Structures are given as structure tokens and as C-alpha cells.
Amino acid sequence: MKPVNIYALTRLKNPELLSKLERQMSGRGRFMKIRGWEIEGLALFCERLMPCCKDVCAMTFYFSYTMSKLGKEFDLLRISDDRIVNIELKSGGVPDEAIRNQLIQNRYYLSTLGKPVYYYTFISSRDRLVRLSNSGKLVESNFEELGFLLDGQEGIFEGDIEDLFKEDKYLISPITDPGRFLRKEYFLTFQQRDIKKQILKNISAGSWQGFTGLPGTGKTILLYDIAMNLSCKTSVCIFHFGSHRKELEQLNDRLKRIDFYYCDKDAFPDVLRSYSVIFIDEGHLMKEAAFLKISEYSRLWGAPVIISYDNVDCVSESERLGTGASLFEKLDDFRGYKLTNKIRLNSELSYFLRTLFSSSKIYKRDYPHVSVSYGNDLNEAMNLIRYYEKEGFVFIWDKSLGTDHDRYESFPGEVNVRLESGMVTGKEFDRVVMLIDASFYYDESGYLRNTESEKKAENARIMNLFHGLSRAKKKIALVIMDNYELMERVYQILQKA
């Protein structure tokens, strides 16, 4: 999205024509619905700025920009080498506290750009301009002050604003990046904040609440954020099922307000003290013995339980990674929430995975960051994987491939970063490559299936593939081995025409 000339934009009064002009100037992928009061407010803003700036007629702003992953919108942004100016437009009837809260929220999101930011709100019905002070107070301002600030900007950025808001600036994992988590260098989406609000509102002694969603929807960061919030007031602990024992030990060393208990697959740690709130991470991997023990702790301590877990039947109802969900979801008082917005993957990779696992509907679009290669046998496939490793891809292997890891290690590469699919939960990588063998096929309904999973339910081949590929933030590579039919179907996805 590019900046627009707001003076030229406001010369039109017809909303339909104005919307067309805005799209042409900004390069936005859709037509904006611009309301009448917004047109009037923006026109008055330009009029009031005219006597106070050198050349308002040539001044450009990013207009109504929304951070795609977080759903956060800014009315006007002007970005230069030395500073950023943010102006929000209101028609009137908005309390000062609401205006202040919005500007403080804007400060929270724009802080990642690493530049001084100036925050203003223009209330058109009252011809009033206010700004947020450094101390977080709302103070009266004037257009002479704003004009001087805008005229002083040097090196105006006029490129695609999305280039400034890369995912790695605000999407982190508290497990693999504890430093940024402890410094609060992360954001919650509107959906995450809403679920957090509901959980805190409904929390009570002995209650069970949880949230689920596909990989990449932000379950881990939401759980840890709520735990951090409550740990300021009371004692909390986190039971973590699954992998990342070393990472949890590091986080435990640095974060003294929360006690961590790592839970092995078939063992549950002894807890020698009581807590006011119990958190469970990767709850879908919890076995019945652990569930019963935590239930006992909850009753004894009067502690509410908050769980994050994977919605593991989203790809295939038969592909279950554990029994935990079936244990706590059936509780009479369990209150569940669902995260649906995928924040780790960019839209291209998200569409590709959606289509790969269910090709009944193919999205006709480009996939420049998806690569597919073919090997006739394991030797050729591993040669290709070594090539991708040299290109910076992380090879995530599936131990259920009908062979063990030693067979893969007999093909050592110069860059030997190979991870088991079950050990990557909560981690992200810029580039991921995975192997698809002859046991994968599409059923009559267009869903990706696996013959080995059908013979042995705990194999979970489909979900291992899905969880591995969804770790990618920027690029995905598939090496298809001895499966021409699948190769043809995948290339149907990749080719628009």
C-alpha cells in the first residue's frame, strides 16, 4: 500500500468516485468504503492545515492503513527518516479518555519502527486538535504546531508500508525468544485480546477455560501473556506438555514470577506448593493421569485452570495427536474459545496450506514463496533436501515415515539442521522443507490422506506434515518422493491458469 495525496482525494465529494481514486493512488487490493463524515473530516483537516504548511497540496499520507495480521487500523500516517506522525480523525461525540486510549494503543503498535512518533487526533465537529504527551496525557494542540512538525520531516517514505511491518517485528514465541517476551516486544491481535478479556472476566475458583486453534494462531503467546498478567497479583504455575524442555529451563531461570513444570509424556512432576491459578500449555498432549492430578490440585487449591491446546481434528477428524482435549472439553463447566486468525503465516502460505490439505477448492493466485521438487527415490529426495538446506531451509522430518532418523543421517548435509516434526511446536522458522512420500493421496472429497495413518491411528502423518509446514514464516519447500499423482495435484494448486 502506497501513500495518497489527501488534498487531491478530498476534491471529490462523490463517495463512489472517491473510493476508486483512493484505490488507484494507494494500490490497495480492494475498494474502501469511505463514509460521508470521513470525507468531510478529511477535507476540513486539509483546509485547516493549508495556512500552516508549505505545500499541503503535495503532501501524502498512508490513509486508513490496517496491520494485516493484527487488525489494527491507523487513519493517517506520515513516515520519514527522522519521525512518524500519526493523526486520527473523529467526527465528534468521543470522550477524551477513549481518544487517549486509542493514541496510547497506537504508541504500543508503532513502537516497533524505532523512530520518534507524534500522536494527534482531530475532532472535526468541534474543530479541535489534541495530541498525546510523552507522559501519556491528552493535551490541546494547534495546526501551527502540527504544520511545523510535518514541514520538518525529511526523507519521506513512499514505498509499500507493509515492508515496514514485517511479521518478525511483532510475532514472537515466549519459548524460543524469552528476551523479547520479557521486554514485552510483542502484540496481541484483537481476537487474542478479546479472548483474554473473556477469560479474565469469567475466571473463578476451580473453573476450567481454554482456547484452541490451528498452529500459527497465537495460542502460546496468549497463554503466557495471561499468565504474566495474573502473576503480578497472585501465584501462578504453568504445566507444559510436549517438547522444549531446554527452552523452558531458560525461561524459568529468567522469569521468577511464574513456576514452570515440564511434563514428560508418561510422567507428571510432583508439586510441593499451592498456586492460585494453573496454566496448561499444549493441553491436547495431556494424558488421563496428568488430567486427574491437575483436577485434584485445582480442587485442593481452589485454583482456576486455563489451557491452550491444538484443535487437532481441523485437518482430519481421524488424525488426533493426544487425548487431552477429549478429557477437559467434556467437563460440564468448561468454557472454550477458538482462535481463527492465523498470525504466523503470511496470506500466501496460509492459502497454499489450506489448499494443499483440502484441494476441493483451489485458490487461483501466485505462490512465489512455495517450491516443489520431485525425487524418484530416497537418495534423490535427500539430495534435493541437502540443496534446500544450503539455501537456508530447515528440514523437518517425520519419524513416522516408515524408517528411523538414522537413515536420514546417512545423508549428511553441510547444513545439518534437521528437526523431528514433534519437536517444533511453538517454534518458527523463515524457511521450512518437508518430505512427502508415496503414502499420501487425495480422497474423493479432495482431502489429503495417508495410508499409513489409516492403518495406525497414532501415526498422525497428516498432522505431522501440517504442523511442520505451518512453522514457516516466509518460504515453504516440498520434496515429493515417488508420487507422480500427488505431484500433478500440487502443481494444479501452484498454477493459476
pLDDT above 70 covers what percent of the chain?
84
Output 171 or 204, whichever has higher pLDDT: 204
Tell me, what's the pLDDT at 481? 94
CA 484 to chain centre: 34
What tens digit of pLDDT does each residue of 256-303 get? 789 989 887 667 888 989 999 999 998 888 888 999 999 999 999 999
Q: Please give the DSSP secondary-structure letter assigned to residue 117.
A: E
- CA-CA-CA-CA dihedral for 265, 270, 271, 272, to nearest 10: -170
3 state DSSP class of 338: strand
Phi, psi of 453 (to 5 degrees): -65, -35
Q: Average pLDDT, whole number, for the chain? A: 83
CATH code, 178-338: 3.40.50.300
Once rounded to an integer, what is the mean pLDDT over residues 416-435? Answer: 68
Q: Domain residues of the chain, as ranges?
A: 4-165, 178-338, 347-494
What string of DSSP letters covers 133-165? -TTS-EEE--HHHHHHHHHT--S---S-GGGGS
Burial class (CB in 10 A: 0-12, 13-18, 19+), 134: exposed
- Measured over the CA atoms of residue 24, residue 152, residue 88 and residue 162, the dihedral's sign is positive
What tens digit of pLDDT does each residue of 219-260 get? 989 999 999 999 999 999 999 887 666 767 777 777 778 998
Is pLDDT above 60 for 421? no
Confidence of residue 414 (pLDDT cuts 50, 70, 90): very low
Fold entry, domain 347-494: Rossmann fold (3.40.50)
Least confident of 365-369, 381-385, 392-396: 365-369
Q: Are strands 394-397 and 277-281 parallel, antiparallel or unpaired?
A: unpaired
The pTM of the full predicted model, rounded to 2 decimals, is 0.64
